[in-house]
Amino acid sequence: MKRDWDVVRQVLIEVEALDALERDRKIYSNSDEDDGERIKGEHVLLLWDAGFVRGIDASNLSGRAVLSPDLTWEGHDLLETMRSQAVWERIKTVAKDKGIELTFDAVKALGKLALGLVLAS
C-alpha cells in the first residue's frame, strides 16, 4: 500500500467528525471487503501507529483493526495544518515544485509556509 495524503486528510476529518455514539461503533480495518473502506482502514492504521489516532486494538487473525478511533493532540494539530482545502492544495503544489517528499514533518512545515502564502494573496 502506498500512503495517500488525500486519504490521510479525509480520514482525519472523518474521525474528528464522529459523535460519541458513532465513535463507539466505528471500526477501521485493513481487511474490509470494500476497497474504499479498506484503504481508509490502512491509512487509519498508519495514523494509529504514528500516534495521530488512538483507539482500541480490534485486530484478529483476518487483519488489523482500530475500534472507537479518536484523534490525539498531534492528530488534531496535523488536521489543522491540512483542514483548509486551499492551504492543502498549496502544500501539495509547493512540495511538488520544490521536489519535497511529503512526510508528517514536511506537511507541518509546508503548512506554515502555505498558510502565509494564502494569507498574503
Residue ranges per structural domain of the chain? 5-71, 84-120
Closest CA to 79 of 14, 11, 12: 12
Cβ distance 33 to 80 under 8 Å? no
Do residues 107 and 81 touch, judged by C-beta distance below 8 A? yes
Which three cell numbers, joined as nine digits, stand for 70? 479518536
Q: Which of 79, 102, 115, 99 is nearest to 3 (CA)?
A: 102
End-to-end CA distance of the chain: 37
Q: pTM score, two decimals?
A: 0.88
Of 65, 63, 61, nearest to 53 (Cα)?
A: 65
pLDDT tens digit at each of 121 positions of the chain: 899 999 999 999 999 999 999 999 999 999 988 999 999 999 999 999 999 999 999 999 889 999 999 999 999 999 998 998 988 998 999 889 989 899 988 888 888 777 665 556 5
